[in-house]
């Protein structure tokens, strides 16, 4: 790490979307985790659609944004449903949308469907000044399909491509991130999610090219980063 641009625990926190997506989480769980997000000043909390308005109140006055998932974890909804979900959650306070690509259609070779579906959601999101992160679910895709998916995401104007939901057969792999990074122009960022539980996991994904990470292990990652920073080992 260059001494001109040192990595810090605070900088690491601002690369985290604190994930609150488990379907059995209660309101008390959400409240507690929004407190963690505030404490460590993460980039966003990534939440279920019906939690957006609740989280907006919990995070009022903080610098923590709200990401929401669309068509999650399975991209089975129609395009119109996804667009409606995007508009409703933005109205509730979401500023970033993590939308799952129709990877079954990608695997079928129906790239026109994939592009038109993502184009519609991206246009709706950008009309509401929201950032779009497209979840590819890489574990179900070939390398060629990952490349083409990234190219389509760039074409429709997505802001990020993301590795996975964290609820499929596989999560983030550094090799996949390197492939995604090489398949998009620099203006398209990479988000890693799925299996990022330690600082070393975080740093591996970052080194591969990811600038945002989805994880529930924020506290553990931050505290280890702070420890290493104090010891000049970060």
Question: How would DSSP label each residue in 25-85?
Answer: --HHHHHHHHHHHHHHT-SEEEE-GGGHHHHHHHTTTSS-EEEEEES-SS--S-HHHHHHH
Burial grade of 225 (CB within 10 A; 0-12, 13-18, 19 or more)? buried
Average pLDDT over residues 148-155: 98
Active site residue 219: no
Decide if 164 is inside a domain: yes
Decide if 147 is inside a domain: yes
Decide if 2 is inside a domain: no
Decide if 70 is inside a domain: yes
Among the listed residues 17, 51, 82, 162, the single catalytic one is 162
pLDDT above 90 as % of the chain: 97
Query: Tens digits of per-residue pLDDT, 171-195?
Result: 999 999 999 999 999 999 999 999 9
Residue 62 makes CB contacts below 8 A (sequence gap 6+) with 37, 38, 41
Query: Tens digits of per-residue pLDDT, 115-136?
Result: 999 999 999 999 999 999 999 9
Domain around 66: 9-230
Decide if 4 is inside a domain: no
Contact (Cβ atoms closer than 8 angstroms) between residue 180 and residue 188: no
Decide if 205 is inside a domain: yes
Average pLDDT over residues 107-115: 98
Domain CATH code at residue 124: 3.20.20.70
Q: Does residue 5 register a pLDDT over 80?
A: no
Among the listed residues 51, 98, 159, 201, the single catalytic one is 98
- What pLDDT does 6 receive? 80
Q: SS3 of 160, please?
A: strand
**What average pLDDT is seen over the chain?**
96
| Angle of helix 143-156 versus helix 111-127 axis, rounded to 10 | 40
Active site residue 162: yes
- What pLDDT does 138 receive? 98
Among the listed residues 51, 159, 191, 201, the single catalytic one is 191
Helix (H) or strand (E) holding 143: helix 143-156
What's the number of domains the chain is made of? 1
Average pLDDT over residues 73-102: 98
Decide if 1 is inside a domain: no
Decide if 81 is inside a domain: yes
CA 102 to CA 99: how far, in whole Å? 9
Determine the distance from the C-alpha atom of residue 120 to the mean position of all C-alpha atoms in its chain, rounded to a whole number: 19
pLDDT above 70 as % of the chain: 98
Active site residue 155: no
């Amino acid at each position: 790490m260059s001494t001109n641009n040192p990595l810090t625990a605070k900088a690491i926190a601002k690369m985290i979307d604190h994930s609150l997506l488990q379907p059995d989480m209660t309101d008390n769980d959400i409240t507690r985790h929004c407190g963690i997000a505030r404490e460590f000043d993460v980039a966003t909390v990534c939440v279920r659609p019906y939690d957006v308005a609740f989280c907006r109140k919990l995070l009022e006055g903080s610098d923590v944004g709200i990401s929401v998932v669309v068509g999650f974890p399975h991209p089975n909804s129609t395009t119109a449903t996804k667009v409606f979900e995007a508009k409703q959650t933005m109205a509730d306070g979401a500023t970033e949308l993590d939308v799952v690509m129709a990877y079954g259609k990608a695997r079928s070779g129906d790239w026109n469907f994939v592009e038109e579906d993502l184009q519609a959601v991206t246009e709706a999101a950008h009309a509401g000044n929201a950032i779009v992160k497209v979840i590819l679910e890489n574990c179900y895709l070939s390398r060629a399909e990952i490349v083409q998916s990234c190219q389509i995401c760039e074409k429709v104007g997505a802001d990020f491509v993301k590795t996975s939901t964290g609820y499929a057969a596989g999560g983030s792999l550094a090799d996949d991130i390197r492939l995604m990074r090489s398949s998009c122009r620099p203006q398209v960022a990479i988000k890693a999610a799925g299996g990022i539980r330690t600082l070393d996991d975080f740093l591996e994904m970052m080194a591969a090219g990811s600038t945002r990470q989805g994880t529930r292990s924020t506290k553990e990652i931050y505290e280890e980063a702070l420890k290493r920073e104090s010891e000049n080992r970060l």
